[in-house]
Chains A and B, each alone.
Chain A
Amino acid sequence: MKEVELKMLERAKELLTSGEVARVIGWKKGDFCHDPSPASFETVEELNDFVYDWFCGANLSKYLIQMSKKEGKTAVFLKPCDTYSFNQLVKEHRIKRENMYVIAVECLGKLDVEKMKAKGASMIEGVDVQDEKVTVHTLYGDQEMEKSEVLLVKCETCNKTHQAKDEEIILHERQPKDVNRLAEVEALEAMTEAERFAFWKEQLSKCIRCNACRNVCPACSCIKCVFDNPASGISAKANDSEFEEQMFHIIRAFHVAGRCTDCGECSRVCPQNIPLHLLNRKFIKDIDTLYGEFQAGETTEGKTPLTSYTEEDTEPNDVFNGEAK
């Protein structure tokens, strides 16, 4: 990981020094080894804080909406999953592609510090990753963990590859994972209606309506969200009744259907760890079943299942009656 970081740093310096770009978007060091923040770097000095490590899970694509409007070119480091969001935003005319310079960077999965803490690690000072093993260095000594158990949820099933790049920094090839990202959705589908309702009720009633899931989502790029608009009649800042949250989440899931790239940011940021990705993956699965395999964000052009109509399309009524083709 260190070699990758050094290569990235070297490129960032070159690009800024030569004036090819006005700024570089990446991650900067935090107070611990596990809390880097997304950041933009405009000078070589600012790059002193640059970092790329096992905790750079944040998706940088959404910043580009603001950044691509600034003077000059913006270089950005994108992980495989981030490039899907990038393409989707270009397709929706939210990012000006010609103002961007995409450096595809390797990702062998990012780690979730909360999962490490849940396994008893306290006062974490650093991590070392060797293939599938993670050594967590703490003030109280080292702790060994399986990498698969401390990955971010979005990384557990990720088999994504870069879909956008102007150049790449990839030093280690990644082996495809033999996992079914829809397994959890299938498990939910297998439940009875009552069980499924109970599952979501328990999960969604934890929601504190902080809107982090919405604000981080690259598919949620409305300038003014209907839930923030006092004139909309449904603007809301709190969970009004115990389960009112279903409205917010279901409306949001519908709104991003067909555009959600399964980047997994919503589940990553939720302070209550609500498995929001399951709502989106249900839509992804249904779109695949009803209209044929489709992955949002693979391209920046072309029609999508929910924005094109053919006479063969499944009728809503057939879906409702369970008779869809």
Chain B
Amino acid sequence: MLKIAKERLNELYAAIAEAQALVLPLKKAGEVNYGAWAEGVEVSLETLKTVKSPKDMFFPQSENMMKFKTEGKNIEIIDVRGEKTPTVLFGVKACDYKAIEVLDKVFLADPVDTYYQSRREATTIVTLACSKPEESCFCKAFGIDATNPMGDVTTWIDEAYLYWQANTEKGESLTAVVSALLQEGGEAEVAAQQEKTTAILEKLPFSNLDLSRFTPENLNELFNDSAWEEMSEACLGCGTCTFVCPTCQCFDIRDFKTNEGVVRYRCWDSCMYSDFTLMAHGNSRTTQMQRFRQRFMHKLVYYPSQNDGLYSCVGCGRCVNKCPQRLNIVKVIKTLGGKKND
């Protein structure tokens, strides 16, 4: 294990940024979101929940997919993908790292989403273990260890040092870039911190949520449960929960006429929106209850039934903190998940 004194972190950032693009949690206009490092920015590594998750780095909220030019009867298709800049994504928490695995199973499965893939391949992920989890965190319920996230490099931070451990080849190459700044040591400090944090994680109110009822066999029963009506009653149909979620993956594709021909563009979509699933014949989901149910059934039943039981919620707690009406997946799990929640 390697380490670097906390007051030298800026040197570390500068060294990484000299070699590659560096993206990490930054405080801007009062809120912390992932952004590109530059001299003078306010880094906020310890922020547990950036408002938006790091999924933007691979699956941006909006992007152009291709352009079309028409001349007479010919259509030219212009590829706008280009080479991706090698990037280091720094400070990713365990839940958000697990979320990338959830996204990989969607975007890297056949047919591969090459837009996602090229960014994913160009990125080295440096994770950061949590030491002060808070009441809305429930990664533990999904078997995630917040004290030991994976990634190309894993880091831990305490009062004095940032500790650094490379896990992969990509991680080793990044270590080589910054090795002049790092020194040996830290095993004991990291182990002590992990032990302390594990004790806090045990005590979090949602750490032991019972998920046992969310199985493919119960799909119909859960779908038809009368509790959805009441659970969704106050839902505004906004997109907050989906847009802050690190695993929400739906998008919409539209063509726009511009001065330089037609541009095909895609952007995040939300199953909570009234025009989601709008088709030529109309909309298959006509009420907010149905939309609300879709979001949670997808996370807890549909996705796991297609991915060997892996849930597509990672317990980051963003929707718990940000839903304007205080509806969220925890309330759904407590209502439908299993007997031990009572």
Contact = CB atoms under 8 A, between A and B. Distances in A.
Interface of A: 30-32, 35-40, 58, 63, 114, 117, 122-124, 139, 202-203, 206, 208-212, 214-216, 224, 228, 230, 235-240, 268-269, 271-274
Contacts of A272: 31, 33, 51
Contacts of B265: 240
What interface size band does chain B fall in?
35 or more
Nearest to B204: A123
Nearest to A32: B135
B238 A216 contact: yes
Closest 8 pairs between A and B when the two form their complex, measured CB to CB: A238-B267, A269-B324, A212-B238, A35-B326, A238-B62, A215-B236, A210-B239, A210-B240
Contact of A206 (B31, B244, B270, B321): B31
15 contacts: A31-B334, A37-B326, A38-B325, A63-B234, A114-B321, A123-B134, A123-B135, A206-B28, A206-B29, A208-B244, A237-B239, A237-B268, A238-B62, A240-B265, A269-B240
Interface stretch (B17-25, B84-92, B102-110, B273-281): B273-281
Given A30-B331, A208-B52, A240-B62, A38 B234 contact: yes
Question: Per DSSP, are chain A's interface residues mostly helix, strand or loop, or mixed?
Answer: loop
A324 B26 CA distance: 43
Given A123-B135, A271-B244, A237 B28 contact: no
Nearest to B242: A210
Question: Per DSSP, are chain B's interface residues mostly helix, strand or loop, or mixed?
Answer: loop
Contacts of A209: 61, 239, 243
B326 A30 contact: yes
B216 interface: no
A215 B28 contact: no
Given A31-B331, A58-B324, A122 B134 contact: yes
Contact of B330 (A31, A239, A269, A273): A31
Contacts of A203: 29
Interface of B: 28-31, 33, 51-52, 61-62, 132, 134-135, 203, 205-206, 233-234, 236-240, 242-244, 252, 265, 267-270, 273-275, 278, 320-322, 324-327, 330-331, 334
Given A30-B326, A122-B132, A210-B240, A228 B29 contact: no
A54 B140 CA distance: 30
B61 A238 contact: yes
Contacts of B29: 202-203, 206, 274
B141 to A, nearest CB: 13
Contacts of B320: 35
B243 A122 contact: no
Nearest to B252: A237
Contact of A58 (B205, B240, B325): B325
Contact of B267 (A39, A63, A211, A237): A237
Given A238-B268, A271-B51, A208 B237 contact: no
Given A122-B134, A237-B252, A238-B62, A228 B327 contact: no
Nearest to B318: A271
B331 A237 contact: no
Contact of B33 (A63, A206, A210, A216): A206
Contacts of A30: 326, 331
Contacts of B252: 237
A125 B238 CA distance: 29
A215 B272 CA distance: 11
Contact of B234 (A37, A237, A239, A271): A37
A43 B274 CA distance: 30
Contacts of B51: 206, 208, 271-272
Nearest to A201: B29
A212 B325 CA distance: 10
B252 to A, nearest CB: 6
Contacts of A236: 267
A237 B205 contact: no
Given A36-B326, A122-B134, A216-B238, A237 B31 contact: no
Contacts of A124: 135
Nearest to A229: B275
A271 B331 CA distance: 20
B331 A230 contact: no
A307 B134 CA distance: 50
Contacts of A211: 238-239, 273
A271 B51 CA distance: 7
Given A39-B234, A122-B135, A272-B51, A212 B324 contact: yes
